[in-house]
Structure formats: C-alpha cells, structure tokens
Structure 1
Amino acid sequence: MKNILVVNSSLSSENGNSNKLTSKLVTRLTSEHNGLNVVERNLNEMNIPHLTMEEMVAWRTDKTARTSAQAAQASLSDTLIAELQQADAVIIGMPMYNFGVPSTFKAWIDRVARAGITFKYTETGPQGLLSNKKVYLLAARGGKYAGTPKDSQSQYLKDVLGFIGLSDIEFVYVEGLAMGDDAAQSAWSFAEKELDRLSA
C-alpha cells in the first residue's frame, strides 16, 4: 500500500468527529508505514455543486471535441476519478445527517460513478471497474444506529461503492457521541482500539 485517498465530508471540517477519525487513522498509518502518499479531499470545503445534465453531456463528449466550457466541466470528475484509480486504499469519514450521507458526499459519488470508466453494464448487470482497493469507512454518529433499521447509511454505502468496484469495505462505527459524556468517552475509547487494529 503506497497511495491513500482520504475523503471527508463533515460540515465542521477538521472539528468534525468523522474528520478526527480519519486524521487519527492517517497519523497511525503514516507512522507505521514509511513512504505513504496521502491525498486528502475535504468535500465540505470544495463545495461541489449538484450534478447537471450539461456536465454529464461534457463527460460523454469525446475529449478532442469538447468545447473549452465542456473541458472545464469534465475536469472535476476526471480529477476525482483519477485520485480513486491511483489509490491503493480509501479512507472515508462519514457523519450521519438526518439518517443519510452528506449531500457533498453524494455530489462526489455523482462525479466518480461514470459508465465506461468506473463501472460498465454487462449482460448480467453492472460491473464495477475499480478493484483491489481497501476501503475504511469511519462512521461517526451522535446516536446509536448500527445494526438497526434506522441505519440507512450502511447499505447505501455498500451498494454505491460496490457498484464501482469498491467492495472490500471495513466499517468502524463510533456512535453515541451526542448521548452524554460517558457515552462519548466510551465511543472514543472504542475508536482508538479499532484504529490501532486497522493500522497494525
């Protein structure tokens, strides 16, 4: 493992619990493994806009035939996909907002899920084209939802990441962070042990 892509989407940026988790894991990995190249994407700071039909048309237009405006529109998706393709491992910090993923993360997904590049349709259904990449999904939550019907995030993340070939996913749930000091302390204690395990 040489290249790591870190994707954060907390509205609180570096003060967000999910961002703190990814930072802790990156610190451990870089101290345990020499020569790691880390690329970090703070989706909150990027402020990626919602996907438009004009941008999709730009993707579908041959690079040699794109207008300057289309080239500019396609560059974001091209860059984000290239980062995924080059990564050996992906670390995703995932807060839960209103039982869903942050809209910035959905905007990122909309840029990296592209037919013919990160997935393709076959006679037996869609096939992901990104492979041999480990995904660490660090989910920070104020309440406790893992393993319950109210955990609407986990299956979506498995489905959408698997759709582009990222099926080797390890979830770490750090929950109860807004349920009092004792619950938060217990959650962080659990997190530290899990991050130690992942970085070993």
Structure 2
Amino acid sequence: MKLLHVDSSILGPGSVSRDLSADIVATFQGRRTDVEIVRLDLAATPIGHLTAAHLAAAQGAPVDDALKADLAAGQAALDAFLAADVVVIGAPMYNLGVPSQLKAWIDRLSVAGKTFQYSEHGPVGLCGGKKLIVASSRGGIYREGSPAASFDHQETYLKAAFGFLGITDITFIRAEGVAMGPESRTTAIALAKQETTALAA
C-alpha cells in the first residue's frame, strides 16, 4: 500500500495538524506491514503558485531553468498523488481557509486528463478508489451545527476539491478549539487521536 503523507502547517514541531497527521501515519504503520510512505512537506519545500507562465508552458511555450525546475516539482507531486492508495493531509485552518501552500499543491493536482476530465455531462473525477484522511486543526469551533459553521472554508473546500477529482472516501480527524486555552487544546488533540485507532483496520 502506498501512502502519501502531506503536511502544510508553517508551525513546525508546535503544529497540531502535523502531530495528528504523524499519528495517523503511525497507525497505518502499526497495523500493516506493507505501507510504503512518500513524504511531502509543503512548508519546508513549497510548490510554486500557478502563474501565467505555468499555463503558457502547458501550451508549449519555452521555459527558463527556474520554471523548468518548478514544473518538474509539480509533476513529481502529481505523480506521487496518482500513485498513492491513501493520502494523509495535515491541514490547519488559516483565516477560515487552507494554507496557501496547500492550495498551490492542490492546483497542481487538478489537471484535466490526469485527475479529472470533462464529459458531455460535466466534469468527471478520475481518482476514485483513493482514501483521503485529513488531519484538521482549528483555533475555534467550526463544526457543523456550531454558530460559526458557515465560516468553514477549510474542510468544505477540501471535500469539494478532492470530490471533484473523484475521491469520495474522505475522513476528517479534527481537533478544534485548540486556541481556546490549554485545557481545550489538550482535550481536542486527545479526542482527535482516539479517532485514528480504527483507520487502518
């Protein structure tokens, strides 16, 4: 089984989403002996945001060495995603959405003819069969039914973006309220980690 482990938090060792994503990966490693892990740290090694030059290159325009290297990194990220059976993403909420480096990575995955295609009935995702697990961290409370639920453009975006690619097996392991005091943070992380135990069964 090939597992792609992606982190996007800029907080390093203090990151809740990194802690949770590592715990999820460790759960798979503890339950299975056939796990092959590919690691991608989008904060340490970010993939460039899409520009007009990227789109021109896709149409055959000449590229300089810097863009050539960036295109190669984007292609490597796409290849790793396509090869993965399970994708684990550490995704904190930043300003009601996802980190910009995570959005940049998703933009590189969303390639017509590779991960989705257009048909006479509209877009069709080509990545069905993958399992996606999101280690989600939030400073406040945004879960469904909460007063601030309408402000969630993090998990709702991720569900829509990967659903567009055909992935329907999506699990969110969520720690929220982590900025609402030490006790709230500790409790949220502990509850989230309890949810990882059944993931690799």
TM-score (norm 1): 0.91
RMSD of aligned residue pairs (Cα, Å): 1.8
Q: CA distance change for structure 1 residues 73 and 142 in 2, over 3 Å: closer, same or farther?
A: closer
What SS class does the counterpart of residue 44 from structure 1 fall into?
coil
**Structure 2 counterpart of 1:185, one-letter code:** T
Q: 2:154 maps to what in 1?
A: 153
Contact 1:7–1:90 (Cα < 8 Å) also in 2 = yes
Counterpart Cα distance in 2 of 1:140 and 1:83: 24
After superposing the two structures, state which structure 1 stretch, 167-176 or 2-11, moved more: 167-176
Counterpart Cα distance in 2 of 1:104 and 1:71: 19
Question: Deviation at 1:45?
Answer: 0.8
Question: Deviation at 1:192?
Answer: 1.9
Q: 1:178 maps to what in 2?
A: 179
**Structure 1 counterpart of 2:31, one-letter code:** E
Q: CA distance change for structure 1 residues 67 and 99 in 2, over 3 Å: closer, same or farther?
A: closer
The percentage of counterpart residues that share the same residue type is 37
Question: Deviation at 1:172?
Answer: 1.7
Cα deviations by residue, 1:57-89 (Å, 9 ceiling, x for unpaired): 22343xxx9667465443122111110111000
Cα deviations by residue, 1:122-181 (Å, 9 ceiling, x for unpaired): 111111111210000111111111111121222211111111222211112111111112
**Structure 1 counterpart of 2:161, one-letter code:** V
Counterpart Cα distance in 2 of 1:100 and 1:131: 25
Question: Deviation at 1:31?
Answer: 1.4
**Structure 1 counterpart of 2:187, one-letter code:** S
Could you tell me which runs of 5 or more consecutive residues in structure 2 were left unpaired when the two chains were aligned. Answer: none
Structure that is richer in helix per residue: 1
Contact 1:101–1:153 (Cα < 8 Å) also in 2 = yes
What SS class does the counterpart of residue 170 from structure 2 fall into?
strand
Contact 1:13–1:42 (Cα < 8 Å) also in 2 = no
Counterpart Cα distance in 2 of 1:19 and 1:159: 22
Q: 2:16 maps to what in 1?
A: 17
User: Structure 2 matches for 1:108-147, cutoff 5 A?
Assistant: 108-147=105-144
Counterpart Cα distance in 2 of 1:53 and 1:159: 25
Contact 2:141–2:177 (Cα < 8 Å) also in 1 = yes
For this pair of structures, how many residues does the alignment match?
196
What SS class does the counterpart of residue 38 from structure 2 fall into?
strand
- Runs of 4+ with deviation above 4 angstroms: 65-71
Could you tell me which runs of 5 or more consecutive residues in structure 1 were left unpaired when the two chains were aligned. Answer: none
Question: Deviation at 1:25?
Answer: 1.1
TM-score (norm 2): 0.90
Counterpart Cα distance in 2 of 1:5 and 1:52: 26
